[in-house]
Amino acid sequence: MSLEVASISKAASQPDPLSALLVSGNSFATNSRLFADTRPVSAVLPLHVSPTCPLDQILIGFFNSHRNILSRGMLLETVIGPQKASVKALVHTELSHSVHPLTKVMSEVMSTYPYVGKPEQLALFYLMHQTMRASNFLRMILVSTNLSIQWQISPTKENYIFMPAWLRPTVTQITVPHAAWIDNVPWPGVRDLLIEQPEDYPYRLWTENFTQNVSVNWKFDLSDALSETDNEIVLHSIFEKHIRKLKNWTVSSNFARIVPNLMPAINSRDY
């Protein structure tokens, strides 16, 4: 069994944070709202507010610009690209014209963070690609077409299962409207705090400190994190396995000094 397949199988077997709540026919109350939800977990999307920062504008603008493409009947996989995204444009910015539009826009986003180490850029690129495929593009389908729910979610259920369990939306993410950028934060408990206390953790405070202080603790050469095949550059399966383990994501003591209230959620071993 390959490392990729093993990682997917392990992720699929891990308990989902929503599975206890989203049981067909069951109702539950959250934030004084009563839900009677019969949808599969993979079909329940994060609730977003209007763009709050440039990153939100880029992401939501990209979603909107591709809605008409889906509504005209183009295959979903053509619109969102392959499961294993090319990082060629992130490694060689001059080649951005030759990659899929989704990976191009993500590469452009990552290039705006000059203080992020290259392994961390690759890792954050990976998280963004996972959340965009599994959540936001499902939203595009729901908005853009009149096809049945079951048909619409069938291609994205695999994407949801492929996500690390800790990256899947929390109950707070699906019940409380929030800024889209929060969905790409690694730690579930931190995502919840950012949503519950947006005035304490605005985008600029978070991104300036997180990008300069996060590490995925990759101890090998950058070239070892990449795999070149068929004129494409993708993440090596070993690196992918490494960043799918949340324990490998850490922050510096400087970050802890600036936002100490987030550290218990970062250091938690509940996920």
Q: How many CA atoms lie within 13 A of 176 on its CB side?
A: 18
pLDDT one-digit tens code per residue, 185-232: 999 999 999 999 999 999 999 999 999 999 999 999 999 999 998 888
- Predicted confidence at residue 102, as pLDDT, reads 78
pLDDT at 178 over 50: yes
Polymer length in residues for the chain = 271
- Predicted confidence at residue 70, as pLDDT, reads 66
What does the alpha-carbon distance between residue 67 and residue 53 come to, in Å, rounded to a whole number? 21
What does the alpha-carbon distance between residue 128 and residue 23 come to, in Å, rounded to a whole number? 28
% of the chain exceeding 70 in pLDDT: 69
Buried b vs exposed e over 55-87: b needs ≥16 C-beta within 10 Å? bbebbbebbeebbeebeeeeebeebbbeeebbb
CB neighbours of 181 closer than 8 A, spacing ≥ 6?
52, 53, 55, 56, 59, 203, 207
- Predicted confidence at residue 134, as pLDDT, reads 66
| pLDDT band for position 162 (cuts 50, 70, 90) | confident
- Predicted confidence at residue 68, as pLDDT, reads 64
Q: How far from the centroid of its chain's Cα atoms is residue 198's Cα?
A: 19
pTM: 0.75
Q: Is pLDDT larger for residue 217 or for residue 3?
A: 217
Residue 36's beta-bridge partner residues?
27
pLDDT at 244 over 90: yes
pLDDT one-digit tens code per residue, 114-139: 789 999 999 999 998 888 776 555 55
Residue 35's beta-bridge partner residues?
28
- The per-residue DSSP string of the chain comes to --HHHHHHHHHHHSPPTTTTT--TT-EEEETTEEEE--S-GGGPPPPB-S--SHHHHHHHHHHHHHHHHHHTT--HHHHH--SS---HHHH-GGGGGGS-HHHHHHHHHHTT-TTS-HHHHHHHHHHHHHHIIIIIHHHHHHHH--S-HHHHHHHHHHHHHHS-GGGSPPHHHHHS-B-GGGGG-S-HHHHHHHHH-TTTS-HHHHHHHHHHHEE----S-GGGGEEEETTEEEE-HHHHHHHTSGGG-EE-HHHHHHSGGGHHHHH----
pLDDT at 36 over 90: no
Q: Is pLDDT larger for residue 173 or for residue 109?
A: 173
What does the alpha-carbon distance between residue 269 and residue 265 come to, in Å, rounded to a whole number? 9
7-11, 74-78, 201-205, 229-233, range with the lowest pLDDT: 7-11
pLDDT at 147 over 60: no
What does the alpha-carbon distance between residue 209 and residue 262 come to, in Å, rounded to a whole number? 12
Q: Which residue in this structure is represented by tokens 């949340």?
A: 246
- Average pLDDT of the chain is 76
Please state the rounded mean pLDDT for residues 74-80.
71
